[in-house]
Structure 1
Amino acid sequence: MKINRDSDTVELNGPPQFEYGQKVRSRKTVRNDGTFPGKDIGDILVKKGDEGYVTSIGTFLQQFYIYGVDFVANGYRVGMKARELEGMTPIDGADMGC
């Protein structure tokens, strides 16, 4: 049985793209898929362009890093993949083109 994955890339082969406390911006609008308590399925949790801070780093399907991002302005902490985020601050002083 073949497992269907989002892509052929296994992010866990390298270090996380973002660090704890790093400021990030959402690249997409995120709606509740039923896993966010207190909100209806389909409710918008994060809008494209919302800014937040990485508060946790976990994994999903032994393939992706999932970043818990605290979006302070709306009071939500949402799990997102790296491709759904862009860094707002450099890691270790490196220039990230921001």
Structure 2
Amino acid sequence: MRDDERPETWGEPVFSPGDKVQSRFTVKNDGTMWGVEIGEIVVRKGDIGYVRDIGTYLQEYYIYAVDFIDRRAIVGMRARELVGLPMPEGTS
């Protein structure tokens, strides 16, 4: 295994619960979201959400449960699909 193929879980997560993030891509349901048709858009590029929780997939990748409040959807996203945003002043 080359260094650039190391599981990302060998390092620390990019985001933490409570972080404000923005979707870099439009995301469609791949069949893993209950109550949503396969192929239906669940997040649009530019949507803003907050990391609720962090899990892993195959013990190799971090999956961030992101609450897209305006869409009323919690979507599992990879770090490469997100951009961190600054929090408003006076919040932490």
TM-score, with length taken from structure 2: 0.87
Aligned equivalent of 1:83, options 68, 71, 80 = 80
Aligned equivalent of 1:67, options 64, 67, 79 = 64
The residue number in structure 1 matching 2:48 is: 51
Q: Which runs of 5+ in 2 are unaligned?
A: 88-92
**Distance in structure 2 (CA, Å) of the matches to 1:69 and 1:26:** 10
The residue number in structure 1 matching 2:14 is: 17
**Distance in structure 2 (CA, Å) of the matches to 1:8 and 1:29:** 26
**Distance in structure 2 (CA, Å) of the matches to 1:76 and 1:61:** 23
TM-score, with length taken from structure 1: 0.82
* Identity, % of aligned positions: 54
Tell me the amino acid that sits aligned with residue 33 of structure 1: D
Give 1:44 deviation, angstroms. 0.1
Give the CA RMSD over aligned residues.
1.3
**Distance in structure 2 (CA, Å) of the matches to 1:55 and 1:28:** 19
Aligned equivalent of 1:42, options 39, 42, 46 = 39
SS of the residue aligned with 1:12? helix
Tell me the amino acid that sits aligned with residue 39 of structure 2: G
Aligned in 2, Cα 1:47/1:9: closer, same or farther, shift over 3 Å? farther
**Distance in structure 2 (CA, Å) of the matches to 1:16 and 1:39:** 28
Greater percentage in helix: 2
The residue number in structure 2 matching 1:95 is: none
What is the aligned residue count? 84
